Structure 1
Amino acid sequence: MILTVTLNPAVDKTYRTGELFPGRVNRMRSVDNIPGGKGINVSKILRQYDYEVTATGFLGGYQGKWMEAQLDRLKIRSAFVHVEEETRSSMNIVADNGYVTEILEPGPHISEAHLKEFGASFIRLAEESSLIILSGSAAPGISADIYARLIRSAAAMGKKVILDTSGELLKEGIQAAPAVVKPNRKELEYIIGRRLQDREDVKDAANVLLASGIRMVMISLGDKGLILAREGRCLYARVPRVMAMNTVGCGDSVVASLAMSMTAGIGEEELLQRAAAVSAANATTLESGNVPLKLAEEMMKDIEIMEI
């Protein structure tokens, strides 16, 4: 069982249009509603590969009930704390000219009582899980040290944690030394406090995190590929160009692939190769967290791995 934590889930509304015009009426050609949020995207991908997964976090209102029904349909076990306010929506506007615009609502306010309930539930769920994934932003009312506290609780039970977040949540979270962190380049720059000019810079920044007790750092470089750093070794994966339909969820695809490789005991080169292929395949679909499995397997042979 893999446990995913999504502290601010969302109903992802993906719109298609020819072009988005700010300050004007924009009529969308189509809209699709799917359960979203980074941890939920990870959960959906894990289920595609037939992994048992439990999703937890906070859900509320009509949209929260709708999301639980959708997760049940996907055979994802729901263990969310229910709050009074409505679960947020996230709008992803995909234009034919190649521009993707995201509009993200803040989400419901989480009370101290609900946080306490979640903390007790997390302990129970973590005990029965082989791996824990902490992904995405936190809803209003949740302090920036929430992931650090969850990582320490998991570590006390001997559980490995993958952390994928940003900003202060990431800065606080790495202080607790999770097993794996997956920042993108901008998030890593925020942690280090300077611009990273090239792959050597990225490697040096990753080594700073490794020195703090983190075992593995996976850095997303967008369409430029992925970097995996472990103590004494750094690998770079170059990805082939794909016809990208929607890049939302590509980082979540990396996290899901990492989790699968870690539970299977796969070595570093193949682990990185698989993560790059799953992420690239995800970009070819409109729905985030939906990987064409056959395409991902075919793309593996096109992923070039090199040492940095």
Structure 2
Amino acid sequence: MHAYQHQREFHGLPVVEFSGEAGATGDRPAPGAAAWRLAVPYGAGTGFDALWDTFLDTVDPDEVRALLIGPWWTDGYGPVTDALARVVGDAGRLPALEALFVADVTSEECEISWLEMSDVTVVAAAFPRLTELVVRGGGGLALAPFRHDRLKALRFEAGGLPGTVVRAVAGSELPALERLELWLGVDEYGGDSTIDDLAPLLDGARLPALRHLALANSEYQDEIAAAVAHAPVVAQLEVLDLSMGVLSDEGAAALLEGQPLTHLRLLDLHHHYLSEELQQRLREALPGVELDLDEAEAEYEDDPEDRYVAVAE
């Protein structure tokens, strides 16, 4: 999706925009039958506080299962800190919350690199029933290692994901986690992680339930592929996603020369810099695996210095 359009479905539920209008329910769905998106309209005279208060007074928060925080600012793309604090501060009124998307904001509303985030560690502590967490944006993003016994899906989307966040994820205790997605991004926008930061994730010992791993959108995608080729975690995966980055023939060859990948259901390499020869070798080596080789960029950018990830600014 690359943050070009809003979520239409989240946590298996249709996304419904909360208009901010109190009173008559009209065609409004039951609180637990939708994923509620709260977004401050462009040029609104009131901010997220007023929208949030109206939401709690209008939609029974006891039954709400999924929330998406859209644009929270009235001007200046301010940090999400206060809006997130309101949601976390009312955690006791949201006992059924299972899924939270922080910053369902499209590039038309605000470029991903302009999104100002905050420390999201508080979310895990506030919502013990949470099974899905998505955070978009890397600027100002912070995370400390945490334990959560019910979280099944965790995704960080960024044009530059701080290495401190990657290390915090790697150092967390997430025994139920089935799906982990990290858009690593580029150094220019704060993506300063290294291959060493990923080592605990690739080991897999702390992620016994993991079945879907995405280490994507990276400037060092070839290094990741070479490490993945011998990583213990791969044996337990159904989906391996190394897409959106600058994967070249070097990285693809390392994958082919490493451990078998024939057990995978999907190998996602879209947005890549592979030659036709390497693409064909992958197809021949993995005949029973769904292989996504869309968005081949090699013919356009022969110079490695000119290669780019799918999502940066």
- Structure number with greater CO (CA < 8 Å, separation at least 6) is 1
- The answer to whether the superposition gives a TM-score over 0.5 is no
Bin of the TM-score, shorter chain as denominator length = 0.3 to 0.5
TM-score (ref. length: structure 1): 0.37
Structure that is richer in strand per residue: 1
Structure showing greater radius of gyration is 2
Higher fraction of helix: 1
